[in-house]
Amino acid sequence: MKIAVVLSGCGVFDGAEIHESVLTLWSLEQNQVDYDCLAPNVQQAHVINHMTGEEMAESRNALVEAARISRGAIIDVAKASADDYDALIFPGGFGAAKNLSDFAFKGADCCTNPDVLAFAQKFASANKPMGFICIAPAMIPKIFNETIDLTIGSDKETAKAINQMGGHHVECPVTEMVVDEQHKVVSTPAYMLAENISQAASGISKLVKEVIRLAK
């Protein structure tokens, strides 16, 4: 079994959430599952100084930045084939809502990066399982174009926007997950609710195990 993990840069405020990404990879290894890390070859929406929270006057590439997390082993999602994988997982971080999509800027009127969308929709068409962490579930309605049970935790405004897009948000504690059995979609809040890395790990480890179960 091999699972694709799509990253969105490196860093919670402008890319992939590093804890969530590493916990996902660690959980896959703990379950003896092979994986590849992928990312879109696009410029980030912006670059944030993670010490101050202020935008920086520079540009960074999401694929290059994601390689920091994967220790250099990264694949351009546009060049990847869904046929090579049994499942797909999206860690969170604002990059999922800024670089993989523009949900952070446009809410319910958002679009998903075309290469990411095409890749994910191949999994949906083949009924292969997908896992979405933190804010990444905001992409689910755009991928499926039908009602899917999902969670980002309990944030009412974010849930409202997701429901406006056609999703069905289910409130969920940080240590748990929501599973749409029919569509093989799993989601967990992670740092939408987590106050520390241990809380995030609890839900992510359950999500990874469930994605693996659905892929068997």
SS (H, E, C) 47-84: EECCCCCCEECCCCEHHHHHHHHCCCCCEEHHHCCHHH
> Which tokens is 18 given?
């590093």
CA distance 141 to 136: 11
Q: How far apart are CA 159 and CA 163, in angstroms?
A: 6
Element at 20 (helix H, strand E): helix 18-30
Q: What is the DSSP letter of 43?
A: B
Task: Please tell me the distance from the alpha carbon of residue 8 to that of residue 10, in angstroms, as a whole number.
Answer: 7
134 is catalytic: yes
Residue in 10, 37, 110, 134 annotated catalytic = 134
Strands 149-150 and 168-169 turn out to be parallel
Quickly tell me which residue has 């694949």 as its tokens.
75
Report the alpha-carbon distance of residue 28 to residue 11 in Å, rounded.
Answer: 21
Catalytic residue positions, numbered: 134
